[in-house]
């Protein structure tokens, strides 16, 4: 855990998940009279099989993405064991990760995004905070964890820039637009000039869970059900692409380690373009033609 935290820069959420997975695996192999160092590929597959189906009669099989994360945790652990010379070979080397269906990222149309960020629910102090949060998340394409981790010192309102600490403790400087700047100025006037940007009712740092709820409720208030923070990030990327931004620029904006991650948005934009074309172009269908 120290290695993943200090050297790999994993998030608290990921560390918690890896720890739980490895503890579960340790308990499983102990039940078979072994330690993690003694575990075989068969033991790992047996543990994963039990994890997938669960121990309750009515348990639903875990999703491929969840299983893939468990495999990643095990592989990572045994790589570390070899690096530290606790083992010579990894029993997880031949462990296969399930295929994860590639989903098209959900995004909002520009009018939908504008309605959500400009008209969140709640009133007064909370309304101003929510509007500033939503405008910044959409305007800068931030992850929810990045947004709630921001301090006032990270903001450069004059130049409309924010310093963000992303995945793997990688820092980047991200621009945002005038609407987000105005919302942030209005919000910051109502609170102390230092500390976390986004506060809860007790004037402590807003949690990621609370930010999720704010996004979901803002969506519901504007007719967008099941909205989640990543949809605002996806919308930012899609709208940038649709307005002519190149993939490298979007990669820098979002803090993607790989350009292949950013390339998902080319498919999103193409799908959106096709939808608009079919709805609007007079020659998008064969109806009424001569054949």
Q: Which of 10, 18, 138, 265 is catalytic?
A: 265
202 given a catalytic annotation: no
Q: Which of 129, 143, 234, 239 is catalytic?
A: 143
Instruction: Report how far apart the first and last C-alpha atoms of the chain are (Å, whole number).
Output: 66
158 given a catalytic annotation: no
256 given a catalytic annotation: yes
CA 7, 8, 13: angle at the middle one, nearest 5?
125
Query: What span, in angstroms and rounded, lies between the C-alpha atoms of 228 and 141?
Result: 13
Helix and strand element counts for the chain (H, E): 13, 3
With tokens 């947004």, the residue in question is: 147
With tokens 């620029």, the residue in question is: 249
275 given a catalytic annotation: no
With tokens 């890896």, the residue in question is: 18
Q: Which of 129, 234, 239, 256 is catalytic?
A: 256
203 given a catalytic annotation: no
Q: Which of 70, 131, 233, 239 is catalytic?
A: 233
Q: Which of 167, 172, 191, 228 is catalytic?
A: 167
Q: Which of 191, 230, 264, 272 is catalytic?
A: 230
Ranges of beta strands (E only) in the chain are 155-156, 161-165, 171-175
189 given a catalytic annotation: no
Q: How many CB atoms lie within 10 A of CB 252?
A: 13
Catalytic residues: 143, 167, 230, 233, 256, 265
């Amino acid at each position: 855990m120290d290695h993943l935290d200090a050297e790999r820069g994993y998030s608290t959420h990921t560390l918690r998940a890896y720890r739980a997975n490895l503890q579960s695996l340790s308990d499983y192999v102990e039940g078979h009279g072994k330690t993690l160092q003694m575990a075989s590929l068969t033991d790992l597959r047996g543990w994963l099989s039990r994890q997938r189906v669960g121990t309750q009669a009515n348990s639903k099989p875990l999703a491929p993405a969840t299983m893939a994360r468990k495999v990643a945790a095990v592989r990572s652990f045994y790589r570390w064991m070899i690096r530290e010379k606790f083992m010579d070979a990894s029993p997880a080397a031949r462990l296969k990760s399930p295929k994860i269906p590639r989903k098209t990222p959900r995004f909002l149309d520009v009018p939908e995004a504008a309605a959500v960020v400009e008209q969140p629910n709640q009133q007064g102090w909370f309304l101003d905070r929510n509007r500033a949060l939503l405008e910044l998340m959409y305007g800068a394409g931030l992850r929810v964890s990045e947004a709630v981790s921001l301090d006032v010192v990270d903001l450069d309102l004059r130049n409309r820039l924010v310093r963000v600490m992303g995945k793997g403790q990688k820092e980047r400087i991200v621009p945002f637009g005038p609407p987000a700047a105005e919302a942030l100025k209005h919000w910051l006037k109502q609170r102390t000039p230092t500390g976390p940007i986004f506060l809860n009712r007790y004037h402590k740092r807003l949690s990621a869970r609370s930010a999720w709820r704010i996004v979901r409720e803002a969506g519901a208030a504007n007719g967008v059900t099941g909205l989640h923070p990543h949809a605002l990030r996806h919308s930012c990327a899609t709208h940038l692409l649709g307005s002519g931004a190149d993939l490298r620029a979007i990669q820098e904006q979002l803090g993607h380690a790989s350009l292949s991650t950013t390339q998902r948005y080319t498919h999103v934009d193409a799908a959106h373009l096709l939808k608009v074309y079919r709805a609007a172009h007079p020659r998008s269908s064969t109806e009424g033609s001569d054949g």
